[in-house]
Amino acid sequence: MAAAFIEQEKSLLQASVDIDTSEALTERQKAVLDAALRLLVEEGDQLTMTAVARRASCSKETLYKWFGDRDGLLTAIVQWQASKVRVVPVDGKGLTLASLTVSLARFASDWLKVISSDTSIALNRVAIGRAGSGNDDLGAIVLENGRFALARRLKPVLEAGRQAGLLEFSDAEVAFRTFFGLVARDVQIRLLLGDRLKLTDAAIGGDAVRATQQFLALHGAKTGPQGL
C-alpha cells in the first residue's frame, strides 16, 4: 500500500506545472550561463571573464554589459542554478493535502537534481575553498542566491499549508530547515567529498516523495507534536 501511495505521488509530481524564475533571461544569456557552468566544472576557481567569453563565443564587453563583473557573473550563475528548483504554486483557499504534497515533492526532487549535478558540486567546492580566505564573496553569493533564496520561495507554501490547517509549526524557518535536512540527508556532503554517488531520476523521485512524507509525519496537522 505504501508503495502504491509513493507511485501515486510520483505521478502527481510528474504532472505538476513547471515553474521557472528565470523569465528575465534571454535564450542567449542562458546559453552563456550554461557555458560558464561547464567551464566552472573544468577550471574551478580559475574561471575568468576572458575564458567565459571565449567558450561562449561572445565578447567580454557583452559579458560586462550583462553581468557587470566577475562577481555579477557568479551571482547570475548561482541564480540560474537555483531557478531550476521550482516551487509549484498553491492556492491558499483551495489547498489540499494532495496539492501541498505535490508542491513539496517537486521542490525536493528539483533540489536533489541540482545539488547532485556536476556544476553545483563544482560551484560549492569553489565557494568552500574560498571561505575564510578573505576572498569569500562567492560563499555569500551562493548562500544569498541559493539556500536563502530557496527558503524565501518555499516558506509561503509552508505558511499556506499552515493557514489551511494542513501543517503545524510555530516557526517557518525551523520547518524549512527540517524539510531541507530530510531532503538532503548526507547526499550533498558525500558528493562534495568525492563520493561517486549516482542518483537516477527514479531514485531522486523516490527520495523526494519519502522526504515529503517524513516531513508531513512530523508537521502534518494531527500527525505531529502540537506547536512544532
Boundaries of every domain in the chain = 20-83, 85-228
**Residue 167, beta-bridge partner list:** 220
Task: Using alpha carbons, list the distances in angstroms from residue 197 to 98, 148, 169, 192.
Answer: 31, 26, 34, 10
How does DSSP classify residue 92? T
What is the reported pLDDT for 8?
43
Q: Determine contact, residues 166/195, Cβ cutoff 8 Å.
A: no
* Each residue's pLDDT expressed in tens, for the chain with a length of 228 residues: 434 444 444 443 333 323 344 557 889 999 999 899 888 888 777 788 999 999 999 999 999 999 999 888 888 888 887 777 877 777 777 899 999 999 999 999 999 998 898 888 888 888 888 777 766 577 888 888 788 988 998 999 999 999 999 999 999 999 999 999 999 999 999 999 999 888 899 999 999 999 999 999 999 987 544 443
CATH of region 20-83, choose from 1.10.10.60, 1.10.1060.10, 3.40.1350.10, 3.40.30.10:
1.10.10.60
Architecture in CATH for domain 85-228: Orthogonal Bundle (1.10)
The SS3 assignment for 135 reads: coil
pTM for the whole structure: 0.75
Count CB neighbours of 43 within 10 A: 15
| Residue 228 Cα to chain centre, angstroms | 24
- Give me the pLDDT at residue 100, please: 94
Q: How far apart are CA 178 and CA 137, in angstroms?
A: 27
How many angstroms separate the CA atoms of 55 and 51, rounded? 6
Burial (CB count within 10 angstroms: exposed 0-12, middle 13-18, buried 19+), residue 97: middle
20-83 and 85-228 have identical folds:
no
Q: How far is CA 76 from the centre of its chain?
A: 15
Place of cell 531514485: 203
Q: Which residue has the cell 553545483?
A: 120
